[in-house]
Amino acid sequence: MSKYQIYLVRHGKTWFNRYQKIQGWSDTPLTTDGIEVAHSAAKALKDVDFAAAFSSDTRRAMDTAEIIASANINHPLPQKMPEFREQFYGSFEGDSIADAWGKIAGSHNAKDYQEIVYKHGFDATMDFVKESDPFHDAENATEYWFRLDKGFNKIDDIAHDGDKILLVTHSTTILSLAFKYKAGDYELNQLPGNSSLTILERENGINRVTSYNQKLH
């Protein structure tokens, strides 16, 4: 199996980002600022020899991927991959971030998202979301990682040794990968910024995140 790099880019800023609402599988368009930072990321990545481009199937990710890919020297056509959506938050979708995480974290002796992750770990936090969702529709860790692993297997089918691949996805998705596959000297004290870059190396089905949340604007 080949060894290749995935350039994980978070989508540009959206209206739900602006209003501090949980987005998950819900979708809102890029703001004017979000479009601008996506163009800045495109400029920073224009000379990277991308062999392929993928994005989550949300509009915010696809629009960001199209901006970046259209400016790239290879003009790769972005392909939609629902496997790399954000975590699904069930009935918490669209709620205030502070209110939703206050409720979820409060049930586990924490005050917010950062504290619950610090105390209990990323996978346990996902499980807590599903437990707290009255409908229990939110994804737990097992469901979430099964979905992402399917996505990586699809990329394996087309990737060649030495390839660089663009993947536009979401904040929690990138943060979860950085937590689980940390292999670099970086801090995990904040979510990745809009249109930031995180690099994941994949070899023989093994992931290593070597850098995290690099600003491209």
For the chain (length 217 residues), average pLDDT per consecutive 10? 92 98 98 98 98 98 98 98 98 97 94 91 96 98 98 97 98 96 92 97 97 93
pLDDT value of position 1: 57
pLDDT value for 2? 84
3-class SS string, the chain? CCEEEEEEEECCCEHHHHCCECCCCCCCCECHHHHHHHHHHHHHHCCCCEEEEEECCCHHHHHHHHHHHHHCCCCCCCEECHHHCCCCCHHHCCCEHHHHHHHHHHCCCCCCHHHHHHHHCHHHHHHHHHHHCCCCCCCCHHHHHHHHHHHHHHHHHHCCCCCEEEEEECHHHHHHHHHHCECCCCCCCCCCCCCCEEEEEEECCEEEEEEEEECCC
Query: Cβ atoms within 10 A of the Cβ of 207, count?
Result: 16
pLDDT score recorded for residue 8: 98
CA dist 198 → 7, 81, 100 (Å): 6, 18, 27
Q: Which residues contact 149 (CB under 8 A, 6 or more apart)?
A: none
- pTM of the model as a whole: 0.96
Token pair in block for residue 44: 């920073």
Residue 162 and residue 3 in contact, taking contact as beta carbons nearer than 8 Å: yes
The CATH number assigned to the domain with range 3-88+141-214 reads: 3.40.50.1240
Task: For CATH 3.40.50.1240, list the domain ranges present in the chain.
Answer: 3-88+141-214
Question: Would you state the pLDDT for residue 189?
Answer: 84
The pLDDT of residue 181 is 98
Beta strand 197-203 with 206-214: parallel, antiparallel or unpaired?
antiparallel
